[in-house]
A and B are shown apart, each in its own frame.
Chain A
């Protein structure tokens, strides 16, 4: 079942002098089993939007349908805990949520909150470790003695262990080196492909959008500026440039070449196509 958002609004500190509308009339349908990117500048309302998906925030107007839950203003969500199990939210720098003495206990913390028995939780932890690329030797270690990248894996395992249907990731690769970021993205893509999880990715990295996502949603000052599939999106680089975001390198190169008089059709957004296209228009060395 897809996620349906209808005329959703969120005003912080409503009816006070500090009132601030973060989201204004959002209409969206996020398809099931796909990877959807949410992009936009800092302050565009991305984080506010994703916090509605697992009931951390309740809309001040409009409705949201997700995993069988119908969420509307002023109404307390019945069994919000179950919703949070279905929709796993990974915040930015999730390593800052670790607190237990051992990695095993920390990952098991979520399942236990949802009433899973000790033994079963322990089995779930053992099952999830290899998914994030760690082995059982980590179980008894303290999460605080790990490297930054490993800490993040443990924190993400703490959400994945709940086996959510929808996985919402708020800049999961921020601060990682390129290799670490690549491994992290590969992990999420595998979860999407093999377990058919719906993935929502809040990101600034256009290369990730291009390489990993199916759909793109652009937020700007609390409204949906653009929604499309990835291919169409990158065929219109002006959509990205208009909201002040730097397109991926390949698109930047294409734009520069077009300006310089090269004839490149819109639909070419991959390296192979661009290469062929260039080859046709330049003199080839012997």
Chain B
């Protein structure tokens, strides 16, 4: 069973121009998938459809095997969490602890259990020292980590990241990407990240490329990156590691190309030792 299964999904804001056009894809349970596309490709609209904030025009969305509809939307939100783009506009509580508690309160978790859960999830995102801090005292990256903690508190099966790092400075970005990787490695959480950070795409397992509301390509990062010209045409850049290993390939150093810096360094070290 897939964590998320989307079939023939269409959506329009004004009833005329479809921004999502007959989109179908499936996301395996426990996988780390990224959705990329230029601005206006419809990627954030998909996130809102998946979490039931928007209603599809046609087609269906299955979350953990259940078709999403108006009746089960509240119960399905026990299983799906989403971290949005703007760190400020999703911080609801007046302190970190209150904000993490917000979701627990909504899901009617008994009060006696809350403190333990809050401390546990805050520790998981390295925010234990800030439980009493007010949002104005936190950086963007810290606020996003609190948002992640708030979602972990309800122990979802799927977490969607909707351009969660695009408003952060590089440190914030790195800490959130690290957090995503950690969640994926340690827990069996399905991760769906909507992004235009090609470095992040390279670290994911599966990529869906959107163009003008349609699925243009899907596959592993490596398969996707084969279509360099197509990506360029869609205003998406190759990650540095890949473009550099292409150059090494042209120079006859590499036989293959690699998507991440780690792989490039490893490969070069091997070539050096055999030298």
Q: Which of A174, A249, A252, A262 contacts B167, CB < 8 Å?
A: A174
- Does B69 sit at the interface, judged by CB under 8 A? no
Given contacts A260-B265, A284-B252, contact A253 B244 (CB under 8 A): yes
- 16 extra interface residue pairs, beta carbon distance < 8 Å, beyond A149-B39, A253-B265: A42-B140, A177-B39, A178-B236, A179-B235, A179-B237, A204-B170, A249-B261, A250-B240, A250-B244, A257-B265, A257-B268, A262-B268, A262-B272, A271-B244, A275-B248, A284-B251
Contact A271 B261 (CB under 8 A): no
Interface residue tally on B, bucketed by range: 35 or more
State the CA gap A204–B140 with chains docked (Å).
13
- Does A130 sit at the interface, judged by CB under 8 A? no
A residues within 8 A CB of B139? 42-43
21 A-B pairs in the complex with CB atoms less than 8 angstroms apart = A41-B169, A42-B140, A149-B39, A178-B198, A178-B237, A179-B38, A180-B39, A204-B170, A205-B170, A206-B170, A257-B265, A260-B269, A261-B269, A262-B268, A271-B244, A278-B253, A278-B268, A279-B251, A282-B268, A282-B272, A282-B275
State the CA gap A87–B263 with chains docked (Å).
46
B residues within 8 A CB of A178? 196, 198, 235-237
Q: Which of A246, A249, A257, A281 contacts B275, CB < 8 Å?
A: A281
- Does B49 sit at the interface, judged by CB under 8 A? no
A residues within 8 A CB of B271? 282-283
Q: Is the interface of A mostly helix, strand, loop or mixed?
A: loop
B139 to A, closest residue via Cβ: A42
Q: Which of A148, A179, A281 contacts B272, CB < 8 Å?
A: A281
**A contact set with B: CB distance below 8 Å:** 41-43, 147-149, 174-180, 204-206, 244-246, 249-250, 252-253, 256-257, 260-262, 271, 275, 278-279, 281-285
State the CA gap A174–B172 with chains docked (Å).
13
- Does B255 sit at the interface, judged by CB under 8 A? yes
- Does B174 sit at the interface, judged by CB under 8 A? yes
Contact B196 A244 (CB under 8 A): no
Nearest chain A CB to B241's CB is how many angstroms away? Answer: 7
State the CA gap A204–B170 with chains docked (Å).
7
State the CA gap A281–B39 with chains docked (Å).
42
State the CA gap A149–B235 with chains docked (Å).
14
Nearest chain B CB to A57's CB is how many angstroms away? Answer: 20
Most buried by A among B139, B169, B196, B254: B169
A residues within 8 A CB of B237? 178-179
Please give me the 8 A-B residue pairs with the lowest Cβ-Cβ distance, nearest first.
A249-B240, A179-B235, A282-B271, A204-B169, A177-B196, A283-B275, A256-B265, A246-B170
Nearest chain A CB to B248's CB is how many angstroms away? Answer: 7
A249 to B, closest residue via Cβ: B240
Q: Which of A41, A175, A284 contacts B253, CB < 8 Å?
A: A284
Interface string of B27-41 (1 = CB under 8 A from A): 000000000001110
Interface string of B227-240 (1 = CB under 8 A from A): 00000000111001
A174 to B, closest residue via Cβ: B167
Q: Which of B169, B248, B261, B268 contacts A42, CB < 8 Å?
A: B169
- Does B274 sit at the interface, judged by CB under 8 A? yes
B37 to A, closest residue via Cβ: A177
A92 to B, closest residue via Cβ: B167
State the CA gap A30–B61 with chains docked (Å).
56
Most buried by B among A252, A278, A284: A278
- Does B17 sit at the interface, judged by CB under 8 A? no
B267 to A, closest residue via Cβ: A282
Nearest chain B CB to A254's CB is how many angstroms away? Answer: 10
